[in-house]
Structure 1
Amino acid sequence: MSGGRIPGSRYFCTASKGLERFLREEVCLKLAAHHVEQVSGKVFFTTEADLKKLKSLKCAERLFLLVKKLPPIEMPRHKGKGVHVLQKYVIGESSKWLEVVYKWQSLQDLSKEQECTSDVTETGIKRPTQQESSETRKRPKLELDKPQATVFDGSPMGQCDLHSIIEGSCQNNAPIQSPPSPDELLNPKGRGAASSIHFRVSCRCSGNIAKSFTSQELGRAIGVALGREMGWKAELRNPMLEVYVHLSDIHCVVGIPIVRLPLASRDYIKSAGLRSTVAWAMAYLADIKAGSLVLDPMCGLGTILLEAAKEWPNAYYHGIDNTDSQLQMASANVCFAKLSNNIDLMRASVTELPLLTESIDVVISDIPFGKKFKISQDTKTIMPYILKEMVRVLSADGTLVLLLSQELSLDIQQWQKPKSHQSNKEKLTAPQDTDTTPTEPSSDPIEKVDVEDTSAAEKEQSEVKAKILASLVPMGIFQVSLGVTEASIHRYKKIPRT
């Protein structure tokens, strides 16, 4: 082993529904991985990448060393016999466990080394601080066509106290036990090894096997057998080693987490908004290049901007929102992530962006669903005008990436389909009134005005939609999961004017 690499190691990452393809591409690009396999909720791969690169994955929820991946097990009808069969199937040969745990220990040792030398480069020269490095790079000034817009300086109250923010975010976690020595690992049933590893089993079961057993029952059974076989002790509250088991109709997967916290739990985000892995996937689809001007016109807590700025630091980011409280929390996030020199924030309306026409290279935004944060207007009604402004400020050949609720996604897709003239059909099929008695004209003028206003509004919306569709080329729709909510990422390119 050299340079922090563990030769021939097989890993897998878990991913939110719909993000597997993005994780697969990220693994190939960042880790030069091979034997990459994508299944529902997971991506398996082999790589010789070092620990730092492994931990740089942004689309993964959790990262594991793979112990084994087996076909689904056929359980006998008798429950007691089934438990015994399952224990033998999952655990198998102890030599395989020793090999993987030894690699896991090596990675833990590397992690400690990297923590001690995180501020020093490979040449021994101390890395410049964020402030030192950012001062050497000038940021282009964003040109506004409405100078009265309120600009935030990257702090919630005009001044940011980084020390107080960092101190307030620290948590007193229980001490982590030290890994055993290689000699103890290679002698699992020796006297010293019995107390050297404290572990717990986290089990998940789905499909047919979940009809007969609960995850707790299977986790307990596997834990008992593994402790007996390896001479390890169970420790549920603060284990040194965690064993992850997933049993389904597709496969039986066993792995060991490389890091205790999920990769999706960003240490640079103070207040979480949109799920970080989804925000990263949106930024990935935006094709951000060095020097690009990137705008989020409904930035909320700024999660998309933070993910993009961390991954593509050589671009320039601007966030706009119309709510003071959201902007203050976004400013705190920007300051906490030490990205005040990368991200500008201002207050303005998304339907009246104070920016010059075609001045932005990338527009990327999470359109509010109205569930987590209340919205003052019906998003479906004002969506044409939101898109109209986004398209106006977007440069030719620029990229537009939107996260939409399923309802909004379907509605926008319907824009491309011609409307059926239901009102005309109703007139043709309606029964004719044989009563020729003249009727009195309506004495209520309000009804007539409402009808005219509604018709005019619909006509205006149709014209706006047609203009938007003429300016954009759809580049794909990607279904993603936000936990209990399903959503869609829409990607477009703006057509250059002829």
Structure 2
Amino acid sequence: MAGGGDPGNQYFCTASRGLEQLLREELSLKLSASEVEPFSGKVFFTADADLKKLKSLKCAERLFLLVKKLPPIQVATHKGKGVHMLQKYVIGESSEWLNIVAKWKSLQDLNKEEERISDNTRTGIKRPAQQESGETRKRSKLELGESPVTDFNESPTGPHNTHSLIEECYQSKSPTQMPSSPDELLNSKGQGAASSMHFRVSCRCSGKIAKMITSQELGRAIGVALSRQMGWKAELRNPVLEVYVHISDVHYVVGIPIVRLPLARRDYIKSAGLRSTVAWAMAYLADIKAGSLVLDPMCGLGTILLEAAKEWPTAYYHGVDNTASQLQMASANVCFAKLTNSIDLMRASVTELPLLTESMNVVICDIPFGKKFKISQDMKTIMPYILKEMVRVLSIGGTLVLLLSQELSLLMQQWQKLKSHPNDKGNIAVWQNPDTTPKDTDPVEHIDVQPISVEKEQSDVKTQIFASLVPTGIFQVSLGVTEAAIHRYKKILIS
């Protein structure tokens, strides 16, 4: 099912689960994509676009040229026969591979200089070959699949997150023996790329098939078969071509990464904070207009502001944080991205913002989960004060977008219900007295809040916050092994 014809090539993107629909909308807006099919961490589509346009996608983690998407087959219960069946079914005919590699090479030719720049570090210094190859091996295990590492330094675990490079079945070649470019690859003797292609396979098995065959076993079989059928040579350290295979209960997908680094790795962000795709999604949901005043009252490293300012440059952005070290890194990010004319930063408490009432059109905030940075008080206790101040500075008709942990997401929904049931005492238990400040040495975000009674806290939530907020959507999103939710609200005038 390789792409072709007037509509363009067939591709698929991986995305954080929960963002597939937003990625679908972005594909339609930016690429006029057709045959768009979102499904559990992937979005398949057809588009006639050059490499520059393809790389402009902000909600996608990785971008692949689709080799084929096949329905599952009944696999023999004997492991050896089952592997052989899958091997033959997945690989198919040689002509398919020659056709798809030619299309891949054509895409590379569209912007060779941009590809060379993408191999540089964020400081613009090219990595040494040994360091680069080591990083490539680490990245390939995490970035070719659907469950990337979270922003809280947690790694995916378990059999469904295994991405195999099948090192034990290949003999590594010296980098000097490899073709240095796609041109050299396709200009070699033989059938196009058949005699000199250096490749590696990254395989992922999930669902029922994973209980029978491991990713390593299947990846080894596919790699050996491709090498024999196409005359290609295995190269794990620095291959010219990568082949991605995902076998699941729903479909068998084979693809070739179009760009070496993930789209989610922005070249304009010096120090990463929140996952850039999620930050972009939050800004997209905020419906930023030309001239909008946008605030992130707990901006951290400024990732949300950077994503928003790059995509919607005609708005004005303000970042606030109460931690000096965070603001210093945010300032470095803003300078690195050359956005000093668009983004202002200041130090202040989120509960005492030095801003006029109803002065902001949009408020976007990643509420701390308490994993990457410790917080000095229970977030359930201080959240009403944070919300109260956000609502105060938000203009009538403005949009509030929050990224919340699953626990806070459920709690916010409970608080919303209290507005309609003012005498309901069933949820009072969620209010707790402030915890004492932790004695560990982790970075702490200090939010000064004076303790008040449980009844007063409940009254504040009911009358001052949710009375003026109308929920307009809750979007579940996966941050690797951490689940979260994006909440969106509109502020209305209280009659």
**Mapping of residues 337-416 of structure 1, within 5 Å:** 337-415=337-415, 416=417
Q: 1:307 to 1:478 in 2, by over 3 A?
A: same
What corresponds to 2:123 in structure 1?
A: 166
Residue 64 of structure 1 aligns to a residue whose secondary structure is: strand
Distance 1:10 1:407, change over 3 A: same
- Gap change, CA 1:365 and 1:223, over 3 Å in 2: same
- Structure 1 residue 421, shift from structure 2 partner: 3.8
Distance, in Å, in 2 between the alignment partners of 1:324 and 1:244 is: 43
Q: List aligned pairs for 1:33-44, cutoff 5 A.
A: 33-44=33-44
Find the residue that maps to 2:457 and give its secondary structure: helix
- Counterpart mapping for 1:306-325 below 5 A: 306-325=306-325
Alpha-carbon distance between aligned partners in 1 of 2:100 and 2:485, rounded to the nearest angstrom:
38
Instruction: Flag as ranges the 4+ runs of structure 1 deviating above 4 A.
Output: 113-118, 180-187
Cα shift at 1:195 = 4.0
Equivalent residue letter for 1:166: T
**1:277: which partner in 2?**
277
Is the aligned partner of 1:328 residue 2:304? no
CA contact (8 A) 2:36 2:45 kept: yes
- Report deviation, 1:399: 0.4
Query: C-alpha separation between the residues in 2 aligned to 1:273 and 1:479?
Result: 20
Q: Write out aligned runs for 1:150-161 (5 A).
A: none
Which consecutive residues of structure 2, in runs of 5 or more, have no partner in the other structure?
A: 134-174, 429-449
CA distance in 2, matches of 1:310, 1:268: 9
Alignment of 1:492 onto 2:489: yes
Post-superposition CA distance 1:319-377 (Å, at most 9, x none): 00001011111111111111111111000000000000111000000011111101112
Q: Answer with 252-261 or 108-117: which moved more.
A: 108-117
Question: Is the Cα contact below 8 Å between 2:188 and 2:195 reproduced in 1?
Answer: no
Please state if 1:469 is matched with 2:477. no
Question: Which position in structure 2 is the counterpart of 1:238?
Answer: 238
Is 1:210 aligned to residue 210 of structure 2? yes
Question: Quick one: distance in 1 between partners of 2:123 and 2:226?
Answer: 40
**Change in 2 beyond 3 A, CA 1:72/1:336:** same
Name the counterpart of 1:436. Answer: none
| CA root-mean-square deviation | 2.5
The 8 Å contact of residues 32 and 49 in structure 1, kept in 2 or not, is answered as: no
Conservation of the 8 A alpha-carbon contact between 1:323 and 1:347: yes
**Quick one: which of 473, 477, 481 aligns to 1:480?**
477
Q: Cα gap change, 1:497/1:486 in structure 2, threshold over 3 Å: closer, same or farther?
A: same
Kept in 2: contact 1:72–1:248 (CA 8 A):
yes
Residue 444 of structure 1 corresponds to none
* Contact residue 301 and residue 327 of structure 2 kept, 8 A: yes
1:459 Cα offset (Å) = 2.1
CA distance in 2, matches of 1:407, 1:250: 31
> One-letter code of the match for 1:354?
P
Give runs of aligned pairs for residues 72-471 of structure 1, distance below 5 A.
72-112=72-112, 166=123, 171-172=127-128, 173=132, 177-180=180-183, 184=187, 187-188=190-191, 193-415=193-415, 416-417=417-418, 418=421, 420-421=424-425, 457-466=453-462, 467-471=464-468
List runs of 5+ in structure 1 lacking aligned partners: 119-163, 425-452
Paired amino acid for 2:182:
P
2:314, 2:258 → 1: CA distance?
30
Q: Tell me, in whole angstroms, the C-alpha distance in 2 between the residues paired with 1:469 and 1:374.
A: 27
Query: 1:76 and 1:369, CA in 2 relative to 1: closer, same or farther beyond 3 A?
Result: same
SS at structure 2 position matched to 1:287: coil
Pair 1:393–1:423, CA change in 2 (3 A):
closer
Which amino acid is the alignment partner of residue 468 of structure 1? Answer: I
Alpha-carbon distance change, 170 to 399 in structure 1, aligned in 2, over 3 angstroms: farther
Q: Residue 473 of structure 1 aligns to which amino acid in structure 2?
A: V
For 1:486, the aligned partner's letter is E
Task: Quote the sequence identity (%).
Answer: 75
CA distance in 1, matches of 2:71, 2:61: 23
Change in CA separation of 1:341 and 1:404 when aligned onto 2, cut-off 3 Å? same
- Report the secondary structure of 1:166's partner residue: coil
Larger C-alpha radius of gyration, 1 or 2? 1
